[in-house]
Amino acid sequence: MKPQDYELDIRPLAPEDGGGFVAVAPELPGCRSDGETPEEALRNAYDAIACWLEAAEEMGRPVPAPRRRAA
């Protein structure tokens, strides 16, 4: 599995939350990132997913299969 296989929800952050955008991987609990632009949030989220997957494997935790596969 690769980070791009996982769905990401990207949405704007409120100004009181610092502005920019947040990207959340709903299939991976607690896996999220942010960025000044949607594109930056997406790139950062792929890094966060890679780290999430690596940590889960190191700890022997199950890794959810992605609901969809990237084309």
- Written as one letter, the residue type at 16 is E
Residue 69: what pLDDT?
59
Domain spans, the chain = 3-59
pLDDT in tens, the chain (71 residues): 799 999 999 999 999 999 999 999 999 999 999 999 999 999 999 999 999 999 999 999 999 999 875 55
Nearest to 54 by CA among 33, 35, 28, 34: 28
Residue 67: what pLDDT?
85
Q: How far apart are CA 27 and CA 6, in angstroms?
A: 7
Residue 32: what pLDDT?
97
3-state secondary structure of 8: coil
Q: Whole-model pTM above 0.85? A: yes
